[in-house]
Amino acid sequence: MFAFAALGWAMAAVFVVSSFADSNVTSTEAGPGLARLFAGALALASLFTFLLGFGLLHGDRRGGGHFLAPMATGAVVGGLEAALFLATAGRLLLLPPILLVLVWRPVRRRAGRLLRPASGLSR
Protein backbone atom coordinates (compact mmCIF):
# COMPACT_ATOMS: atom_id res chain seq x y z
CA MET A 1 0.00 0.00 0.00
CA PHE A 2 2.85 2.34 0.78
CA ALA A 3 4.39 1.69 -2.62
CA PHE A 4 1.16 2.59 -4.38
CA ALA A 5 0.82 5.73 -2.24
CA ALA A 6 4.35 6.83 -3.19
CA LEU A 7 3.64 5.95 -6.82
CA GLY A 8 0.63 8.28 -6.83
CA TRP A 9 2.50 11.09 -5.10
CA ALA A 10 5.38 10.87 -7.58
CA MET A 11 3.00 10.96 -10.53
CA ALA A 12 1.08 13.88 -9.02
CA ALA A 13 4.28 15.86 -8.52
CA VAL A 14 5.39 15.26 -12.11
CA PHE A 15 1.99 16.28 -13.49
CA VAL A 16 1.87 19.49 -11.44
CA VAL A 17 5.36 20.49 -12.54
CA SER A 18 4.64 19.63 -16.17
CA SER A 19 1.38 21.60 -16.11
CA PHE A 20 3.40 24.72 -15.32
CA ALA A 21 6.56 24.03 -17.32
CA ASP A 22 5.65 22.06 -20.45
CA SER A 23 3.35 23.72 -22.98
CA ASN A 24 3.09 20.52 -25.04
CA VAL A 25 1.24 18.70 -22.25
CA THR A 26 -1.41 21.36 -21.92
CA SER A 27 -2.21 22.39 -25.45
CA THR A 28 -5.70 23.81 -24.79
CA GLU A 29 -7.03 26.27 -22.24
CA ALA A 30 -8.50 23.51 -20.10
CA GLY A 31 -5.26 21.47 -20.19
CA PRO A 32 -3.44 23.05 -17.22
CA GLY A 33 -6.52 22.94 -15.03
CA LEU A 34 -7.24 19.32 -15.89
CA ALA A 35 -3.62 18.30 -15.29
CA ARG A 36 -3.67 19.97 -11.86
CA LEU A 37 -7.07 18.48 -11.03
CA PHE A 38 -5.78 15.02 -11.97
CA ALA A 39 -2.65 15.58 -9.86
CA GLY A 40 -4.76 16.66 -6.89
CA ALA A 41 -6.99 13.60 -7.20
CA LEU A 42 -3.92 11.36 -7.38
CA ALA A 43 -2.40 13.00 -4.32
CA LEU A 44 -5.63 12.66 -2.33
CA ALA A 45 -6.13 9.01 -3.31
CA SER A 46 -2.51 8.31 -2.39
CA LEU A 47 -2.98 9.98 0.98
CA PHE A 48 -5.94 7.74 1.77
CA THR A 49 -4.02 4.67 0.58
CA PHE A 50 -1.12 5.61 2.86
CA LEU A 51 -3.44 6.19 5.82
CA LEU A 52 -5.17 2.86 5.22
CA GLY A 53 -1.82 1.06 5.19
CA PHE A 54 -0.72 2.98 8.28
CA GLY A 55 -3.89 1.99 10.08
CA LEU A 56 -3.42 -1.67 9.18
CA LEU A 57 0.07 -1.79 10.71
CA HIS A 58 -1.25 -1.53 14.29
CA GLY A 59 1.75 -2.02 16.62
CA ASP A 60 4.44 -1.98 13.92
CA ARG A 61 4.01 1.70 13.09
CA ARG A 62 7.22 2.82 14.77
CA GLY A 63 9.56 0.70 12.63
CA GLY A 64 10.76 2.41 9.47
CA GLY A 65 11.31 -0.89 7.67
CA HIS A 66 7.68 -1.02 6.65
CA PHE A 67 7.90 2.39 4.99
CA LEU A 68 11.35 3.00 3.49
CA ALA A 69 11.73 0.31 0.82
CA PRO A 70 8.09 0.38 -0.36
CA MET A 71 7.99 4.18 -0.56
CA ALA A 72 11.30 4.36 -2.46
CA THR A 73 10.22 1.66 -4.90
CA GLY A 74 6.83 3.27 -5.40
CA ALA A 75 8.38 6.67 -6.06
CA VAL A 76 10.68 5.22 -8.73
CA VAL A 77 7.82 3.35 -10.40
CA GLY A 78 5.61 6.46 -10.22
CA GLY A 79 8.32 8.53 -11.88
CA LEU A 80 8.66 5.96 -14.66
CA GLU A 81 4.90 5.80 -15.14
CA ALA A 82 4.58 9.59 -15.32
CA ALA A 83 7.47 9.81 -17.78
CA LEU A 84 5.82 7.23 -20.04
CA PHE A 85 2.50 9.04 -19.75
CA LEU A 86 4.02 12.38 -20.69
CA ALA A 87 5.95 10.79 -23.56
CA THR A 88 2.63 9.38 -24.85
CA ALA A 89 4.00 5.84 -24.87
CA GLY A 90 0.57 4.24 -24.63
CA ARG A 91 1.69 0.67 -25.19
CA LEU A 92 4.16 0.82 -22.31
CA LEU A 93 1.93 2.45 -19.68
CA LEU A 94 1.12 -0.84 -17.95
CA LEU A 95 4.77 -1.89 -17.68
CA PRO A 96 5.78 0.01 -14.48
CA PRO A 97 2.79 -1.15 -12.38
CA ILE A 98 3.29 -4.72 -13.60
CA LEU A 99 6.96 -4.49 -12.65
CA LEU A 100 5.93 -3.19 -9.23
CA VAL A 101 3.78 -6.25 -8.67
CA LEU A 102 6.10 -8.88 -10.19
CA VAL A 103 9.50 -7.63 -9.04
CA TRP A 104 8.42 -6.34 -5.67
CA ARG A 105 9.59 -9.27 -3.49
CA PRO A 106 13.21 -9.44 -4.73
CA VAL A 107 13.55 -5.65 -4.66
CA ARG A 108 12.18 -5.51 -1.14
CA ARG A 109 14.58 -8.18 0.09
CA ARG A 110 17.62 -6.47 -1.42
CA ALA A 111 16.61 -3.04 -0.16
CA GLY A 112 15.96 -4.48 3.28
CA ARG A 113 19.43 -6.01 3.35
CA LEU A 114 20.97 -2.68 2.38
CA LEU A 115 19.02 -0.73 4.98
CA ARG A 116 19.37 -3.28 7.79
CA PRO A 117 22.64 -5.22 7.52
CA ALA A 118 22.67 -8.66 9.12
CA SER A 119 24.16 -8.99 12.58
CA GLY A 120 25.98 -11.78 14.35
CA LEU A 121 26.66 -15.13 12.68
CA SER A 122 24.47 -14.50 9.62
CA ARG A 123 26.93 -11.94 8.16
Which residues, including other chains, have CB under 8 Å from residue 104's CB and lie 6 or more apart? 3, 73
* pLDDT value at residue 58: 75
Percentage of the residues of the chain whose pLDDT score is greater than 70: 73
Distant-in-sequence, close-in-space partners of 56: CB < 8 Å, separation ≥ 6: 1
Segments in 22-117 forming alpha helices (H): 30-57, 68-86, 95-102, 104-115
* Residue at 61: amino acid letter: R
* Domain positions in the chain: 2-118
pTM as predicted: 0.65
pLDDT tens digits, residue range 57-113? 777 667 666 777 778 878 888 888 888 877 777 788 788 777 777 766 676 677 667
Q: How confident is the model at residue 123 (pLDDT cuts 50, 70, 90)?
A: very low
